[in-house]
Structures are given as C-alpha cells and as structure tokens.
Amino acid sequence: MNPTISPRTDTRWWGWGDPDVETDVGARVRELLNLRGLEIDPSGLDQVRSIEAVAIPEAKRIPDAVLAAAGADWVLTDHDSRVRHATGQSLEDLLTLRSGVVPTAPDAVVIGRDGAQILAVLEAASRERVAIIPYGGGTSVTGGLKVPEGIDRPVISLDTIGLDGVEVDPISRTGRLGAGLRGPEAEEAVNRFGLTTGHFPQSWEYATIGGFAATRSAGQASNGYGRFDEMITGLDVVTPDGVLRTPRVEHAAEGPSLLDLVIGSEGAFGVITEVEMRLAPIPDTSYVVWLLPDFESGIDCVMKMAQRDALPAVVRLSDRTETSLNLAMSGPAGVAGAALDAYLGARGRSDGCLMIVGYEGEPGENASGKSDTNSLLGRAGGIRLGARPGEAWARSRFHGPYLREGLLDLGLVVETFETAAPWSEYVDAYVSIRDATLAALERNGMAGELLCHLSHAYPDGASLYFTLVSTPGARGPVESWIAVKGAVLEELLELDLPVSHHHGIGRDHAAAYARRVDQVGLEALDATKRSVDPAGIMNPGCLLPMSFHHTP
C-alpha cells in the first residue's frame, strides 16, 4: 500500500460500496411504493455530485510530536481523505454527505502501519490532548465515526488499513488476523488453508476484522458459527497507556475475562490491532426458501429449532411487509424471480412470510438437518419454494445496502434498527415496537412502511431487525428521523430490551445505553477508561456519552 494515496477510494464517498454497482430499485418497487402512499420525489433529498464540492471545517493544527510519531508518509491532510473519514453509513451520515455540508471532520488521517507506530501515536496524542477516532471499514451505522460537535481539541482519524497480517494454525483451526483486513481479504487468506471465518454480515465486503470485534458483530450464518464475539480467542489492543494483550482463551479459569471487557468497546479504550479467532473447515452449502403462513408460525418454528439445538446456519424469517417488498424486488438476481410469482399463484397463496434457510457443514450433517427442518416447516403449513430462490438470495446477499442508495435517490428515507427479545415476549415486542414506530412516523409527518425480519436465534430468544422506508417528513429527513429514532429507543427502554443487537452503540445510542447500564455500570466502564486512557482521547462520545467522559 502507498500511504501517500488516500485509502478507501474504491468506495462511494457519498454512500455504500462500489461506485460502479447499479442501485436502481426497478419499476416494480417504484410502483409498489406509490401504491402504498410513498410519494417518490427524486428532488426531495439533496445530492452534491462531487467530493470537491463538500464543505468541511478548516483543519486544526496537529502538534508536531504527534505527526512525528505517525511518520510524515503516513499522515493525510488532503480534503478528500478528511471527507471520506468524516462519517459512517447511517442515514444521518449519508444525508449529511449528500447535502454537501459536513459540520465536523477529522483534522488529519493517520494510517496505522503496526502496533508500535500506533502506540507511539497514542502516547503522543495523550500528552498533546489530540482525540483519536479509530477507523476500520467505515461501515458504522450508529455514528461511531463522527467527530463530536464542539470538541475543543484536534481530532485524528486513525485508519487501520495497514494492519493486514495473517497467521493461521491449521491444526488448531485458529488464525491471528490484522484488524485492518476487510471481510473478503480475511476470508481469502484463511481459505488457502481450507478454512473459513464463518462470519458474513451484510457489511462483509467492506467492514474489517477489528470492526467486527469492536462492535460485537453478528454474521448471517451466526446460528451455525456463532457471533463474532464467540469466535474470538484473543485480542491485541493498543491503548494510550500501553498494549493490552489479552491471554488466549483456551478453556481457562483465570479470573474475569479481559477479552469480554475489550470486545464491543468501539475504540473507547484503544485501537484493536490483531484478532485471534477460531476458524472452521470450508463447508458444503445449500440454501432454500420457504413460505410460512404468517410471521407467528415462522417464529414458533425458529424457536423450536433453536431449543432443540437444530438451527441451520442461516435462518432469516421476514414478516409480511418485508416479504411483499422482497417479492417486488424479485428478478434474475432477486430472491425468487417470476417463477416464484407463478408458484404462489398456482397454490392460491398471495401472501405469507418468506424464510431463507441455509445449510453449511458436512454433506451428511446437511442431509440430516434438512430432513428435520423440512418436517417441522411442513407441519407448520410451510411451502418449500426450493433451492433456486435460495441460491439467488445467496448470490445477492450483500447487495442490500445498494438498494438503500436507490431509494435515497428516489427521495425516500431508509434506515434500520435492531434489538432482541426473549421468546416469551417476542411477538408482543414486535407488535409494540412496530406500533410505536408507526405512531412516531405519523407524528412527524412521515408516510412509511416498516419491515422486519428475524435472522439471529438463540435458545432463549432472537433478534428483531427493522427497516424503515418513508417520505422525508415535515421537518426534513434528518430531524424527522432523529425524532422517530428517539421514540424507538424510548420504546426499547420501556420494554427493557437492548438498544442494539449487533450494530453497536456508537454515539447515536450512547445516551440510551447509559440508561440501560445505570450509574454503577457506567462508573465501572469509566474507571477502565481512566486507567487505559487517562487523558480521555479515545473516541470521545462513543459508547460512553460525552457528559460522562473525563476530559482533563
């Protein structure tokens, strides 16, 4: 890598992914949205067409000692680099970029090349009171990469792109991976040993190994491989006070887990530089799609599979609203295509809930699992739509974020939020959150649809993943969405449910998270932060609210 060239230039500066990928949602989706009262107005959302036209604040001066610690060739201060590191991928982030006025941006970007250099940077930054925001793949959807407004110190975005080392122990099936590796880079490296990470969240193409650890990521095949936090056996974290190298977790009884303290810390304690994790053999895979009569019967089936320890690696159950939009988006690369419409029509069923089921493992294991799942879903009134739509989903599984770009281009607001609930409360929680969100939309003058799916299941409960598609609202898209999101968080707190299942806390959820943790928990977290980050420079306002941060 040439550190004098701005990193991440292979992605859209104004949105998600590859600039050459088509984002048009198609005529069928536009027709369906119109039928549901979602007025399409492409002029409704601003769109600045060049990164050069984006206005950012004048950069504060970075002290010479910090620049010297980083190395002159590893510091970027050009306009494009600062814009590209100013935001993540939340709705507010994307609308801010499209507007052409970004109110805060890092004053410089430092490319992390190894642990020693990063430690020198953090030590110098701590002495000079320069804030550090770790930057992995830039895929945060919770405001984790934004520079807090009103901050009175210079801010560096520390990009981990240079941390790309790989060591694999094929006998133990473990790997030690650089935190800056993107999902595909890490997967390609371990595939050479006949192994897989087994971790494929929708952000996989651009998110990094360090980011997965920092946010407690959950991949699409988490039912088979576990969440990313369950795969990790060790971490190296560079803090302003030194390097924290957690003891490898090999079935030891050695006091409280330092590993659990660091996983999910989102850069508030330091920069994750290496991750040691369990790997698995590359599996045989197959995916099929079922149609269940309703969301409740599908939920019951997933619960039974989870409690029998018989979950396929992938189970994704959509509610009726999400199912109808999935059908509208069907095509050669969609979930089912025209053949699915014909199949449903022939059986007299015009609605229902789609369930994607993915098997990953040894051929014999897959055969046994398929038989059990087929029997359970068949007894619940499910219709097996076959492997063709399942394989279509597998081919397009990482295309979802591009669809948001297409909907934003139509002048519509699109955002997601997620939580988890125990099985005994699951259906009631789904209804309560849906009703609270729709009521908040109405209060804010937004006409919208709320989609939901279940995609991560456990013996005691499962995730709830919501997607909102709506008109911008009376106060404009950003203010309207912030008001709706506030209502959603209040509902989650009222229900005593997590404010995030796998997207993390960032800055957007920090205040709600503080109410979940309570004062004693906050003080314990802050005591840890004071120990490893005495000057309070690490990702201020992320995880812990700014009002709780110590700023000597």
Sheet holding 242-245, edge to edge: 166-169, 174-178, 271-278, 232-239, 242-245
pLDDT of residue 349: 52
Query: Which segment, 11-25, 174-188, 343-357, 508-522, is predicted with the most confidence on average?
Result: 174-188
The whole-number average pLDDT for the span 2-20 is 78
Residue 190 pLDDT level (bands cut at 50, 70, 90): very high
Is residue 62 classed as helix, strand or coil in its secondary structure? coil
User: What b/e string do you get for 402-414 counting C-beta neighbours within 10 Å, with b at 16 or more?
Assistant: bbbbbbbbbbbbb
Residue 33 has pLDDT above 90, yes or no: no
**H helix or E strand, kind and range, residue 251:** none
- The span from the CA of 92 to the CA of 98, in Å, is 10
Domain that holds residue 521: 509-552
173 is a domain residue: yes
pLDDT of residue 47: 82
* Nearest Cα residue to 488 out of 453, 512, 463: 512
pLDDT of residue 39: 78
DSSP state of 549: -
pLDDT of residue 313: 95
User: How many residues can be counted in the chain?
Assistant: 552
pLDDT digits (tens, 9 = 90+) for 433-477: 999 999 999 999 999 999 999 999 999 999 999 999 999 988 889
pLDDT of residue 109: 97
The whole-number average pLDDT for the span 173-193 is 98
Helices (H), 380-476: 387-395, 400-409, 426-443
The whole-number average pLDDT for the span 414-433 is 97
Residues 262 and 212 occupy one common structural domain: yes
Residue 336 has pLDDT above 60, yes or no: no
How buried is 1 (Cβ within 10 angstroms: 0-12 exposed, 13-18 middle, 19+ buried)? exposed
Residues 419 and 370 occupy one common structural domain: no
Q: How distant, in Å, are the alpha carbons of 218, 263, 330, 423, 522 from that of 516? A: 21, 18, 40, 21, 10
Residues 415 and 392 occupy one common structural domain: no
**Residue predicted with more confidence, 326 or 60:** 60
- Residue 405, sorted as left (phi over 0), alpha (psi -120 to 50) or beta, turns out to be alpha
Q: Which of 378, 397, 416 is the last residue of a domain?
A: 397
Instruction: Tell me which long-range contacts 450-454 makes (C-beta under 8 A, separation of at least 24).
Output: 450/321, 451/318, 451/319, 451/321, 451/322, 451/325, 452/295, 452/318, 452/319, 452/321, 452/322, 453/316, 453/317, 453/318, 453/319, 453/322, 454/298, 454/299, 454/302, 454/315, 454/316, 454/317
478 is a domain residue: yes
Residue 28 pLDDT level (bands cut at 50, 70, 90): confident
Residue 529 pLDDT level (bands cut at 50, 70, 90): very high
Residue 36 has pLDDT above 80, yes or no: no
**H helix or E strand, kind and range, residue 516:** helix 510-532
pTM as predicted: 0.93
pLDDT of residue 34: 78
Residues 307 and 363 occupy one common structural domain: yes
Residues 275 and 289 occupy one common structural domain: no
Residues 446 and 416 occupy one common structural domain: yes
The whole-number average pLDDT for the span 291-309 is 97
pLDDT digits (tens, 9 = 90+) for 261-285: 999 999 999 999 999 999 999 999 9
Residue 329 pLDDT level (bands cut at 50, 70, 90): low
Residue 62 has pLDDT above 70, yes or no: yes
The whole-number average pLDDT for the span 13-28 is 87
Q: Which of 246, 281, 316 is the last residue of a domain?
A: 281
pLDDT of residue 331: 47
274 is a domain residue: yes
Q: Are 211 and 137 in contact (CB under 8 A)?
A: yes
Mean pLDDT of the chain: 90
Give the β-pairing of 461-470 and 413-422: antiparallel
- The span from the CA of 21 to the CA of 11, in Å, is 10
Tally of domains within the chain: 5
* CATH code of 192's domain: 3.30.465.10
Residues 490 and 409 occupy one common structural domain: yes
55, β-bridge pairs: 101
pLDDT of residue 4: 47
pLDDT of residue 345: 53
Q: Which of 237, 252, 281 is the last residue of a domain?
A: 281
* CATH code of 100's domain: 3.30.43.10
Q: Look up residue 273 and give its two tokens.
A: 């530089």
Query: Which segment, 44-48, 187-191, 249-253, is predicted with the most confidence on average?
Result: 187-191
450, β-bridge pairs: 468
Residue 549 has pLDDT above 70, yes or no: no
500 is a domain residue: no
Q: What is the DSSP string of 118-155?
A: HHHHHHHHHHHT-EEEEESSS--SSSTTPPPTT--S-E
pLDDT of residue 251: 80
Q: Are 476 and 444 in contact (CB under 8 A)?
A: no
pLDDT digits (tens, 9 = 90+) for 96-113: 999 999 999 999 999 999
pLDDT of residue 9: 83
DSSP state of 490: H
The set of residues, in sequence order, having a beta carbon less than 8 Å from that of 225 and lying 6+ positions away, is 198, 199, 219, 231, 280, 313, 360
The whole-number average pLDDT for the span 195-223 is 96
State the CB neighbour count (10 A cutoff) for residue 520.
Answer: 8
Question: With DSSP H G I counted as helix, E B as strand and the rest as coil, what are the percentages for the chain, rounded to 5?
Answer: 40, 20, 40
* CA angle, 234 then 240 then 243, to 5°: 30
φ and ψ at 28, to 5 degrees?
-65, -40
Residues 184 and 271 occupy one common structural domain: yes
Helices (H), 255-294: 258-262
**Residue predicted with more confidence, 302 or 519:** 302
85 is a domain residue: yes
271, β-bridge pairs: 238
Q: Which of 3-7, 177-181, 330-334 has the lowest mean pLDDT?
A: 330-334
**Residue predicted with more confidence, 428 or 33:** 428
- The span from the CA of 514 to the CA of 539, in Å, is 16
Residues 217 and 252 occupy one common structural domain: yes
pLDDT digits (tens, 9 = 90+) for 389-403: 888 889 888 988 998
* CATH code of 349's domain: 3.30.70.3450
Residue 35 has pLDDT above 80, yes or no: no
pLDDT of residue 364: 64
Residues 133 and 182 occupy one common structural domain: no
434 is a domain residue: yes
22 is a domain residue: no
DSSP state of 235: E
**Where do we find the tokens 């089921």?**
357
Residue 333 has pLDDT above 70, yes or no: no
Residues 433 and 476 occupy one common structural domain: yes
78 is a domain residue: yes
Residues 325 and 277 occupy one common structural domain: no
The whole-number average pLDDT for the span 221-243 is 96
* Nearest Cα residue to 456 out of 219, 297, 151: 219
**H helix or E strand, kind and range, residue 529:** helix 510-532
Give the β-pairing of 457-458 and 383-386: unpaired
